[in-house]
Amino acid sequence: MRFYCFESHGSSRLGVGSSDGKQVLDLAAAALELPKDPIEFVAGFASTQSIVGQIIQSKQSSSWTYALDSLQLLAPIPRPGKILCSGINYRSHLQENPDAVLPDEPFFFAKLPSTVVGPRAN
């Protein structure tokens, strides 16, 4: 399953993508009992996974579905805590930067939570 945070009618919403990747089902509209906060949703997914599956299989789910390309996507986790990144740790990174040298030991760096934005955001 691919999950999305998006804006609809002036509020942020959680959604799940369709199998073809072209639609997003608004989970908040489909099931009021699901957490609205992305962190709570992910943390409790083991207990709500069956509800999400039932919603996806429901014939009514089309009434809560939007075209993915019509949505303003938001950051997946709007205000993440610590963000630790690892640099030049895959051989494929060498394709992006041929002058890079793979380190003997991995190195990490931090990003500020304010750097997390949604796709196509400025």
DSSP H or E stretch at residue 17: strand 11-17
Average pLDDT of the residues in 39-60? 85
List the Cα angle 14/16/19 in 5-degree steps. Answer: 165
3-state secondary structure of 109: strand
The string of DSSP letters for 74-103 reads --SSSS-S-EEEEES-STHHHHH-TT----
Output 107 or 43, whichever has higher pLDDT.
Answer: 43
pTM of the model: 0.72
Q: How is the chain split into domains, by residue range?
A: 3-73, 83-115
pLDDT tens-place string over residues 18-31: 888 899 999 988 88
Average pLDDT of the residues in 42-55? 88
pLDDT tens-place string over residues 74-90: 998 888 888 988 877 67
> Which positions ≥6 away from 29 have C-beta within 8 Å?
13, 64
